Structure 1
Amino acid sequence: MPRRSIKRDFAIAVVIAFLLAAAQIYHVHVGANANQKTQRTRSKIGDVVAVESNRHGFSTIKFLFSALVAAISRSRSVSENLTGATSLPHATLQNVFYNRLAKCGSRSLLTLAGYVARSKGINTESSLNYGDEHPREKLALEEMQYIAGLKPPTFYDRHIHYLDFRKYGLQSPIYINMIREPISRFQSKFNYMKYGDAEERAQPRNLSDINKCVMDDEAFCRSPIMTHYYTKYFCGFDPICKDMSSMEGVELARKHIRDDYLVIGITEEFDNTVRLLEAAIPEFFGGALETWGVIKATLMNRTKTITKDVLNEESVRKLRQVVLYEDYIVYEEAKAKYERLIEEYRIL
C-alpha cells in the first residue's frame, strides 16, 4: 500500500477517533445510556470498532487504539489483495522523468501532462535537445546531474536513452514512458520522415516506397532511428548496449523496464494508460482522464500523418521475424509490465 495512503488512513482514523470519543464522553456526562451496552459504528476507512459507553475513560483509549489498528489492518489487506502481499509501486513527491520514445504518442502525453501540471501548480520542463538521444558519457552525466537537481515536484522530458542515475550516486527520478507496437511505430516513423504531419514538424525526405525500402534493405530502413530502437533506448549507456547483435543488450533493456520504470504505457491503449498514470502517480496525473476527454479530438488531428505508405504482408513478415526481432522482445517485456499494472491497479 502506498505510504501516502497509509498516512491518510492514519490521519482519518485519529480524527474520527477523537471526534467520536468526545461525543461519547459528552453522552456519558448527560447520563444517556450509562449501562454496559456496546455500540458499534463504521468509520470512513471502512472498519468496525467498538465503543463501551459506560467506561468513558478506558473507552476513549481503547477506541483510539482500535481505530489505528484498524487503519493498519485495512492498509495491509488492500495491499495484499491488489498485489499478492507486495506493495504497489507508487510515487511520492519526487520528480517525474519521461525519457520519451519518438513516434509513440509522446506529444499527446506531453500536452496532457502540461495541462494537468498547470492546474496543480507543478513545474514542467522540456529539453530543447531533440536530436541527440545518445550523447557522450560526459554530457549524459551532466544531464543526470541537472535532472537530479530539479526541485520536486517537476515533470521533465527528453528524447534520450535510459540513464542510470544510481551508477553515479544520484537520486533517480520516477521513470515513465510510452511504447508502441514495433511495426506500427516503424510505419509511422517512416511516413513522418517522408511526408511530415499535420503540423509539418518533419522536413519531408526523398524516400522510396516503404516496401521497397524494407525488402531492399535500404539504408534508411536499417538506420538507428528505425531498427533496434527500443533495445538501444532501454539498454542505455552500458558498453554492452553498443552491440545490438548481442542478446546481452536486450536482456539489460528488459531488466531496466522491469526494475526502474514505474509506468510504461501502451500507445494503442492511451486512455487506459492515462488511467494507470492517474492511479500510480495521482500527485501528478490526478484528473488527467477528464482533461484528456476535452483535448483528445483536437490533439489527435494535429499529430496525425496526412499521407501514408502502407506495409504489405511480405514486408510485415520480414520486419517481425528479422529486422525488428530484438525490439519485439523488449516491447513484449514492456507490454507485460503494463498489463500487470493494469490488473494490479484494477483499471479494467
Structure 2
Amino acid sequence: MMAFTFRELFLMTVVFTLVFIGLLDLTELKENRVKETKREPQHIHNFNTRESWPLKSITENENEPTPTKTEPFDCSKKVLGGTDYTIIYNVMPKTGSRTFTTLSNQLTLRNGIGKHKEGRSPVILTPKSQTLRQNSSLLKSFYQESSKDAVLIRGHNVFVLPWESNFIFLNTIREPIPWMISLYYFARNGDSKIAMGTTVDDTSFDECVARNLSYCVPKFDQYLKYFCGDSPLCRTHEALSISKSNFESYLVVGLTEEFRSFIQLIEILLPDIYEGILADYDQNVEQLHDKTRTKAKQGPLDETVRNLKERRDVQIMYEFYNFVKRKFHRLHRCVVGEE
C-alpha cells in the first residue's frame, strides 16, 4: 500500500479543491448563459428598475415653465364655435364623469341640440367575450354609428386616435391615491344611485395595503389606458410616453380636484353647446356630488400613503397626473386669465 507524507496529502487536497471550484465556476457560467438566452426583451426585463425609466419626484414643483418662443401656445385656437360636433368622453371611473354627463344632458336637451349615449355596453368579439372598451377598432365603429344621434358619448373606454375632424375628445383625471381609494370602496358600497356590494370582503383599504394584497392597488396600465389605448405597448414602459403624446388629442383633460374650473373651461371652449353649464353647476353642485359620492369611504392613514408612494405603479401614475395637472393649469391661465 502506497504511503503519503503529510506534505503530499496537503498538496493533493489543495489541487482537488481548486479543480472542484473551477468546475463550479464553469457550471455557474453555463447556467448564466442559459438564463441570458431565456431572458425577456430588454424593455420588459428592465421595466421595474428605476435606472431604466427615471421618474420625477411625486412632490415635484407643479409650476409649468413659461413657454419659450419656440413653443408658442395660442389658446384662442382651442375655442370651437358651432354645434356640429360629437364629443367623446372616454372617461376614467370615479373622476366626476356622471356629474358632467348629468349637466351636459340637461343643458343640451334644454337647448334642443341633441342627446347623449353611454358607450359601455359589452359587445361579443371572440369566444372570450372581449368588451367594447377593450377594442379600439370596434370602438371606432361604435363612435361613428353613435355620432349620428349623439352630442356626447360617455364610456369608460380605452383611448383611440381621432380620425374625424368633428370629433372632440374630453377626459377627467384624479389624483391616483384618492382615485384608487374611491374605486376600492365604490366596489363594496356603491353610492346613493348605484348599489354595489359585489364582494363580501370587508377589509379596509388601509389594511389591504398593509397586508400587500394584490387587489388593493390597480396596476399603472389601468390608470393610463384611458390615454394610452389597448396596444401591447401600453402595458410596458412605453405607456407613459404614449399617454403624454395622446394627451395632445384632447380639447380638455380636467381635474376632479378642480372640477369647477373644468366646467368653466368647457363653457368657454364650446360656447354654442355648453353656454350656461357653469351656472347650472354652481346652482346644483351639492346635489350633484351627493348623488355620486362613494358610501363609507375611509382613510387613508399616513402610513398607507407613504407605503403607496414607494410603489412603482403609483409613481408612474403620479408622473402622468402631475403632467396633466401642469397642462390643465397652463390652459386655464391662458383661457380664463386667472389662477
What TM-score comes out, normalization by structure 1 length? Answer: 0.67
* Residue in 1 that maps onto 2:258: 269
Residues 182 and 328 in structure 1, CA contact (< 8 A), matched pair in contact too: yes
* Residue in 2 that maps onto 1:33: none
- In structure 2, list runs of 5 or more residues that go unmatched: 1-71, 123-130
Distance apart, 1:114 and its partner CA:
0.8
Distance apart, 1:205 and its partner CA:
2.0
Distance apart, 1:113 and its partner CA:
0.7
Question: Could you tell me which amino acid in structure 2 is paired with residue 306 of structure 1?
Answer: K
2: CA distance between counterparts of 1:146 and 1:305? 33
Residues 221 and 234 in structure 2, CA contact (< 8 A), matched pair in contact too: no
* Residue in 1 that maps onto 2:153: 156
Q: Looking at CA atoms only, which structure, 1 or 2, has the larger radius of gyration?
A: 2
201-210 or 134-143, which deviates more: 134-143
* Residue in 2 that maps onto 1:142: 141
Residues 235 and 249 in structure 1, CA contact (< 8 A), matched pair in contact too: yes
Choose from 166, 176, 184 the match for 2:178: 184
Deviations 1:210-234 (A, max 9, x none): 112123231312445xx53321221
2: CA distance between counterparts of 1:210 and 1:85? 44
Question: Could you tell me which amino acid in structure 1 is paired with residue 256 of structure 2?
Answer: T
Choose from 228, 232, 236 the match for 1:239: 232
* Residue in 1 that maps onto 2:16: none
2: CA distance between counterparts of 1:108 and 1:86? 26
Alignment of structure 1 residues 54-93 onto 2, 5 Å: 87-92=76-81, 93=84
Distance apart, 1:106 and its partner CA:
0.7
Alignment of structure 1 residues 269-308 onto 2, 5 Å: 269-308=258-297
2: CA distance between counterparts of 1:209 and 1:108? 27
Residues 227 and 243 in structure 2, CA contact (< 8 A), matched pair in contact too: yes
Choose from 280, 304, 325 the match for 1:335: 325
Question: Could you tell me which amino acid in structure 2 is paired with residue 299 of structure 1?
Answer: L
Question: Could you tell me which amino acid in structure 2 is paired with residue 212 of structure 1?
Answer: E
* Residue in 1 that maps onto 2:214: 219
* Residue in 2 that maps onto 1:110: 101
Question: Could you tell me which amino acid in structure 2 is paired with residue 194 of structure 1?
Answer: R
Residues 91 and 156 in structure 2, CA contact (< 8 A), matched pair in contact too: yes
Q: Percent identity?
A: 25
Question: Taking structure 1 as reference, are residues 316 and 137 closer, same or farther at Cα in structure 2, changes over 3 Å only?
Answer: same
2: CA distance between counterparts of 1:261 and 1:84? 15
2: CA distance between counterparts of 1:347 and 1:108? 25
Question: Taking structure 1 as reference, are residues 172 and 238 closer, same or farther at Cα in structure 2, changes over 3 Å only?
Answer: farther
1: CA distance between counterparts of 2:111 and 2:172? 23
Q: Does 2:213 align with 1:255?
A: no
* Residue in 2 that maps onto 1:126: 117
Alignment of structure 1 residues 192-203 onto 2, 5 Å: 192-203=186-197
Distance apart, 1:189 and its partner CA:
1.0
Question: Taking structure 1 as reference, are residues 347 and 278 closer, same or farther at Cα in structure 2, changes over 3 Å only?
Answer: farther
Residues 130 and 159 in structure 1, CA contact (< 8 A), matched pair in contact too: no
2: CA distance between counterparts of 1:299 and 1:232? 27
Kindly indicate whether structure 1 or structure 2 has the higher relative contact order, using CA contacts under 8 Å at least 6 residues apart: 2
Distance apart, 1:96 and its partner CA:
1.1
Distance apart, 1:285 and its partner CA:
1.4
130-139 or 210-219, which deviates more: 130-139
Distance apart, 1:84 and its partner CA:
5.6
Deviations 1:113-142 (A, max 9, x none): 111111221222222525746423543343
1: CA distance between counterparts of 2:132 and 2:93? 10
Aligned length in residues: 256
Deviations 1:6-32 (A, max 9, x none): xxxxxxxxxxxxxxxxxxxxxxxxxxx
Taking only aligned residues, the RMSD between alpha carbons, in angstroms, comes to 2.5
2: CA distance between counterparts of 1:89 and 1:275? 14
Q: Secondary structure at the match of 1:88?
A: helix
* Residue in 1 that maps onto 2:310: 321
Question: Taking structure 1 as reference, are residues 163 and 267 closer, same or farther at Cα in structure 2, changes over 3 Å only?
Answer: same
What TM-score comes out, normalization by structure 2 length? Answer: 0.69
Question: Taking structure 1 as reference, are residues 145 and 239 closer, same or farther at Cα in structure 2, changes over 3 Å only?
Answer: farther
Q: Secondary structure at the match of 1:126?
A: strand
